[in-house]
């Protein structure tokens, strides 16, 4: 099960936070800060999987002894694209490689929806971020990974804002996440 899907910029500012399990707001804020610190301090060639920080592991929802322990959040999976970190917190029942692929599908869907997505698109069109994620994950369970279906579902909802035709893209933030041609993925 997916417990949370997070997107940060390089300065640690959350661009998307979606929790599928109930946590106190104070714990969510501390967790967001702790996970960003862990992920952003990793060397570029490092593995994209981490054990869950002790904050969430210790404060997870209460489990009785009769419940299986494989439903407890235990893994952080992430990918770094240009100026953004895409992070998934999950249980041990999820395949880390499938989660890496899920992040890839999410970024590709956003790139198709925004036509060369950049961080500013994420800031000003957060409804589209949530709609896209909602087409892919419901209640922490992945329900769709087909990019065409995801994009058509989001477009059918009417949440995609079109960028003005004369708006140019500059280097830096406007350079996009790189799905078009200058795709940059740091890590393995």
Interval 50-68: pLDDT, tens: 888 776 555 544 444 444 5
Reduce the secondary structure of 89-136 to three states and give it as a string.
EEECCCCHHHHHHHHHHHHHHHHHHHCCCCHHHHHHCHHHHHHHHHHH
Interval 24-37: pLDDT, tens: 888 888 888 888 88
Q: Return the pLDDT at 71.
A: 66
> For residue 28, what are the contacts with CB-CB under 8 A and spacing of at least 6?
17, 19
pLDDT: is 83 or 88 the higher one? 88
Closest among 86, 149, 139 to 117, alpha carbons compared:
86
Q: pLDDT band for 121, please (50, 70, 90 cuts).
A: confident
Secondary structure class of 13 (helix, strand, coil): coil
Range of weakest confidence among 7-21, 53-67, 115-129: 53-67
Interval 136-149: pLDDT, tens: 999 999 999 999 99
- Dist CA 5 CA 1 (whole Å): 11
pLDDT: is 188 or 122 the higher one? 122
pTM: 0.77
**pLDDT at residue 107 greater than cutoff 90:** yes
- Dist CA 50 CA 28 (whole Å): 18
Question: CB–CB of 117/179 below 8 Å?
Answer: yes
**pLDDT at residue 171 greater than cutoff 60:** no
Nearest 5°: CA angle at 74, between 72 and 77? 135
DSSP 79: E
């Amino acid at each position: 099960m997916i417990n949370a899907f997070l997107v940060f910029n390089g300065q640690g500012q959350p661009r998307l936070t979606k929790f599928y399990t109930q946590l106190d707001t104070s714990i969510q804020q501390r967790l967001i800060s702790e996970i960003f610190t862990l992920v952003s301090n990793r060397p570029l060639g490092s593995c994209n999987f981490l054990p869950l920080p002790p904050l969430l592991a210790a404060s997870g929802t209460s489990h009785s002894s009769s419940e299986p322990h494989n439903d407890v959040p235990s893994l952080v999976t992430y990918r770094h694209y240009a100026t953004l970190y895409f992070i998934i917190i999950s249980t041990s029942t999820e395949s880390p490689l499938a989660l890496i692929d899920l992040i890839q599908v999410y970024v590709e869907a956003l790139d198709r929806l925004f036509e060369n997505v950049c961080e500013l698109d994420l800031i000003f069109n957060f409804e589209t971020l949530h709609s896209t994620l909602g087409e892919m994950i419901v209640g922490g369970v992945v329900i769709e990974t087909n990019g065409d279906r995801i994009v058509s579902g989001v477009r059918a909802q009417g949440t995609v804002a079109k960028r003005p035709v004369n708006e140019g893209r500059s280097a830096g933030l406007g350079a996009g996440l790189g799905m078009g041609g200058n795709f940059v993925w740091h890590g393995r």
